[in-house]
Amino acid sequence: MKKPLFKVILLFLLAAVLLAGCAMGPRAESAPGLSADDSAVYVSYQQHLYKVDSKIGTELWRFPATGSVQVVLYAPALLNDGGVFVGDLANKFHKLDPASGAEIWNFSEGKGWFQAKAATDGELIVAPSSDRSVYALNADGSLKWKFSGEFGFIAEPLVLEDAVIVAGLDHYLLALNKDTGELLWKTELKGALISAPAYDPASASLFVGSLGNELVSINSVDGSINWTFGQNGEITAIYATPLILEDSLLFADESGKIFSLKLSTGTVDWTLDAGGEIVAGILPLEDSFVIALEKGELRAYKLSDRSPLWTRTLDGKLYTTPVVSSDKIVVAVTKGQALLQAYDSAGNPVWSFTPAR
């Protein structure tokens, strides 16, 4: 009678030991995370963060040097003096040497994925996590404070003079005390917030779009709402950070409409139908702007009259806001032949980058 029970217990113990040693990686799918400085682009995708020379499209380094299925990176890297900061889906946040990609330190107290770009004011590093926490780290990687909410944070924060602004999936835009992490104010919107707000220092206003088909201007001091656009069904969900251009606010909604609103009042300057669903944000150029359509089209428009300049079709989907580096427009492709494709300002292909195995 005792023998089968013993066998059962032994089997469970064996299973527990085996399970502890062989874990699969996180099961998540996301778009490449892209960021850039003057001479290089950094793209996080699947097992690595790649630093790529933006002049010629060659890989400079990758982190980690040897990939593992248990470590997946999708967060865009934060580039700051003396460091590249990036989080992964193995619940770790890293500081890397920009020259070599070697790890300087890592923060491993998180219990969820770091999938958003971190933010900094030069001293404090703020990293949101899917574990419903926002972690504020000192320059040496030690924890300064932690704020815990009800839902995960997947949008890039914004570090202002006295406050850290955090967009939450729970429909709230939060302001936290920069020194202590205490909640200063919170403002409820109609839908989940996927992306960071834009900030206009002149009016001390924040501009954020939500999945609730609205774009809202919020006073950064007290969280009061200045104006809301979209109450009459003019727009659909907004996935990317709006773009402030002088006294205008540019953004695209999911349906593919691009809007320009007056920054102060939220009234419409002009609209444009890009002809396809849009998740990525708008990339401003000198006298034009570029938008990536989900279906794989990259389109450039003249800023003055919105006339189309050029369209390029890529093999794959586009969910990531393009960046500019070394005068090249660089776009990250999801499920394409190449991970990165670079164009000059006239839309001519310059180089493409596919990571070597």
Partner 1 sequence: MWDTLIIQPFTNVLLAITMVVKNFGVAIILFTLLIKLITYPLTAKQLKQTAAMQKLQSDPRYKKMMEKYRDNKEKLAEEQMKLYKETGVSPFGSCLPTLIQFPIIIGLYQSIIKAMAATPLEIFRLERLIYPFLDANKILPIQNRFLWMDLGQPERLPILGIQIPILAIIVVATTWLQSKAMEPPSTGVGDQAAAMTKSMNIYMPVLMGWMAYSLASGLALYFLVSNIATVVQYSAQGRANWSRLFPWIKTKSPEPIPTPVVVIPDDEEEDEEPEAPKPASKPSARAAVKQQRPQYKRKK
Is residue 357 at the binding interface for partner 1, with CB under 8 A as the rule? no
Is residue 17 at the binding interface for partner 1, with CB under 8 A as the rule? no
Of 144, 186, 190, 295, the residue at the interface with partner 1 (CB under 8 A) is 190
Of 197, 218, 254, 283, the residue at the interface with partner 1 (CB under 8 A) is 254
DSSP 10: H
Residues 83-112 that bind partner 1 (CB under 8 A): 111-112
List the end-to-end C-alpha distance of the chain, in Å, as a whole number: 55
- The span from the CA of 213 to the CA of 233, in Å, is 7
Of 6, 24, 232, 267, the residue at the interface with partner 1 (CB under 8 A) is 24
Q: Residue 98, preceding bond cis, omega within 30 degrees?
A: no
Nearer to partner 1, 18 or 346 (CB): 18
- The span from the CA of 18 to the CA of 27, in Å, is 20
- The span from the CA of 7 to the CA of 1, in Å, is 11
Alpha helices by DSSP H, listed for the chain, are 2-21
- Of the candidates 47, 53, 5, the residue with the CA atom closest to the CA atom of residue 26: 47
Of 10, 23, 56, 202, the residue at the interface with partner 1 (CB under 8 A) is 23
Is residue 140 at the binding interface for partner 1, with CB under 8 A as the rule? no
Task: Count Cα neighbours of 207 within 13 Å in the Cβ-side half-sphere.
Answer: 27
* DSSP 3-state of 310: strand
- The span from the CA of 131 to the CA of 146, in Å, is 11
Nearer to partner 1, 12 or 270 (CB): 12
Region of 35-43, 147-155, 261-269, 306-314 interacting with partner 1 (CB under 8 A): 147-155
CB of 188 to partner 1, least distance (A): 12
CB of 25 to partner 1, least distance (A): 8
Contacts with partner 1 by CB under 8 A: the residue count is 46
Residues that bind partner 1 (CB under 8 A): 1, 4, 8, 11-12, 15-16, 18-20, 22-25, 27-31, 74, 111-113, 115, 130-131, 150-152, 154, 169-170, 190-192, 194-195, 211-213, 237, 239, 254, 279, 319, 334
